[in-house]
A and B are shown apart, each in its own frame.
Chain A
Amino acid sequence: MPLIELDAAGVAVATPDGDRVLLEPTTLTLTEHRVAVVGANGSGKSTLARMLNGLVAPTTGAVRVDGLDVAKQGSAVRRKVAFSFTDPAAQLVMPTCVEDIELSLRRRERRAGRRRELALAVLERYGLVDKADVSVHSLSGGQRQLLALAGVLATDPDVLVADEPTTLLDLANTRRVGDLLLGLEQQLVLVTHDLDLARRCDRVLVVEDARVVHDGAADAAVAAYEASVLG
């Protein structure tokens, strides 16, 4: 598994009323296969997740993936760390499904014919091959999230950071996407409100008021989170 290190990494933004802290300086080492991040809306979960591949740069401290600094070696880090968003509509940029996968493969495969074959193989793996030439706008929400995940996984990353991948999905699709994510060989950092999904991870971080307040084995951490909310 890759080694993700947060070294007193924190994020603050300047506002007219003074600095607002999105994430207090946090020190963590993530080596587990599946790490879940849970917590309330606006607690800093997404900021934490976005720092892992440089979408948000830490304003203090540093974040390193396998020794690569996300702020200074961003492009090398992003080749290792893929990121998926809650709303797949924002990350599907090409008109048809196969073309969106091909876009991910452009860097790896220059020959157009071979690239298409690879893209179709990716769609096959995610059960979307019959949608290859269909417009991405005509897919259902579940299919769209699957396609978005297929798109980021097509580049063969070492780590996948998924920001609430099941929040917009129905029960069947939540289960389908959840099983897919937890079955990955890659290291997974999963930000989620789905506590069943979190319980299936190897380690859970609970984020509250811009800091990690609990960090440990899944069942204990989820129980602590539930207790903090329900009182």
Chain B
Amino acid sequence: MSGAVTVGVYRPGETLLHRLPVGVKLAALALFSLSVVLVRSMPASWVWLGLALLAALVARTDLATLLRAARMILVLALVVSAFQWWIDGPAKAVETLVDLLALALAAIVLSSTTSVNAMLDAIVRWVGPLRRVGVDPERVALTFSMAIGALPGTVTLALETRDAARARGLGGHPRAYVTPFVVRVVARAHETGDALHARGLGDD
């Protein structure tokens, strides 16, 4: 059991950002993301990063969580920025890097201040009107939660499979690892389906 994704990001708290309604937070994140993407200037990028850090400060997001999130996005951002450096030069590359960091931090602040169930309740409320055209809001919400929950579970399976391959001295070859991993993921999906079925979730 290791790595960034296996641990839930949500930290309960009483800060302003914890108490804001989910809809307001999601709308703010959407607006923020749109602004970051649309406004193309270097000074603005630093402002976005500053705002994201300010939000993290207000939410008292712990440093370790922020660093983990930053590290994950940094790998991706560096690749993209290197590419931009090559196409558009250094200024553009730095702007992209800072923008991506700001977006990642803003997203992590939302996840650390909003429990998955609060998010699900909001989704159920918003999808509610679609009930008339045959959409089941509870089922939509359940799908979202499954997608969120599947990530740490799959990482754990990947680590277990890798260890099993190593224990048999098959560590080096991807085939020794990928095939059983896929089989186990599918098996786990069946088990989870059975468990949901047994709990009567998605029955009505």
Residue numbers of A with Cβ under 8 A of B are: 53-55, 74-75, 78-79, 82-85, 87, 89-91, 93-96, 99, 102-104, 106-107, 112, 115-116, 133, 135, 137-138, 151-152, 155
- Minimal beta-carbon separation of B131 from chain A (angstroms): 14
Give residues of chain B (146-185) contacting chain A, Cβ–Cβ below 8 Å.
146, 148-149, 152-153, 156
**Inter-chain contact B12/A133, CB cutoff 8 Å:** yes
**Inter-chain contact B145/A93, CB cutoff 8 Å:** yes
**Inter-chain contact A53/B145, CB cutoff 8 Å:** no
**Inter-chain contact B10/A55, CB cutoff 8 Å:** no
Give Cα A91 to B188, complex, Å.
10
**Chain B interface helix/strand/loop/mixed:** helix
Q: Which stretch of B28-36, B95-103, B196-204 is in the interface?
A: B196-204
**Inter-chain contact A133/B7, CB cutoff 8 Å:** no
> With an 8 A cutoff between CB atoms, is B136 at the interface?
no
Give residues of chain B (16-53) contacting chain A, Cβ–Cβ below 8 Å.
none
B200 to chain A: which residues have CB within 8 Å? 75, 78-79, 107, 155
B149 to chain A: which residues have CB within 8 Å? 93-95
Among A96, A103, A133, A152, which residue has its beta carbon within 8 angstroms of that of B198?
Answer: A152
**Inter-chain contact B145/A94, CB cutoff 8 Å:** yes
**Inter-chain contact A89/B194, CB cutoff 8 Å:** no
Interface residues on B, range: 20 to 34
**Inter-chain contact A78/B198, CB cutoff 8 Å:** yes
**Inter-chain contact A55/B197, CB cutoff 8 Å:** yes
| Interchain Cβ contacts under 8 Å between A and B, 13 examples | A55-B194, A75-B204, A78-B197, A78-B199, A82-B199, A93-B146, A94-B116, A99-B115, A102-B117, A103-B199, A106-B138, A135-B8, A137-B156
**Inter-chain contact B192/A90, CB cutoff 8 Å:** yes
Having A78-B200, A137-B1, A137-B6, one finds 11 other A-B pairs with CB under 8 Å, namely A75-B204, A94-B116, A95-B116, A95-B152, A96-B10, A99-B115, A103-B199, A112-B117, A116-B117, A135-B6, A137-B152
Which of B1, B192, B200, B204 has most A Cβ within 10 Å? Answer: B200
Give Cα A155 to B196, complex, Å.
13
**Inter-chain contact B117/A155, CB cutoff 8 Å:** no
Among A82, A90, A95, which residue has its beta carbon within 8 angstroms of that of B191?
Answer: A90
Residue of B nearest to A104 (CB): B199
CB-CB under 8 A for A85 and B195, given A75-B203, A103-B145, A103-B201? yes
A151 to chain B: which residues have CB within 8 Å? 199
**Inter-chain contact B197/A133, CB cutoff 8 Å:** no
- Minimal beta-carbon separation of B108 from chain A (angstroms): 14
**Inter-chain contact A138/B7, CB cutoff 8 Å:** yes
Residue of A nearest to B115 (CB): A99
Residue of B nearest to A163 (CB): B198
> With an 8 A cutoff between CB atoms, is B118 at the interface?
yes
Give Cα A103 to B149, complex, Å.
12
**Inter-chain contact A78/B195, CB cutoff 8 Å:** no
B194 to chain A: which residues have CB within 8 Å? 55, 85, 90
**Inter-chain contact B198/A53, CB cutoff 8 Å:** yes
B121 to chain A: which residues have CB within 8 Å? 112
Residue of B nearest to A102 (CB): B117
Among A104, A112, A138, which residue has its beta carbon within 8 angstroms of that of B1?
Answer: A138
**Inter-chain contact B203/A78, CB cutoff 8 Å:** yes
Give Cα A225 to B74, complex, Å.
60
Residue of A nearest to B152 (CB): A137
B199 to chain A: which residues have CB within 8 Å? 78, 82-83, 91, 103-104, 151-152, 155
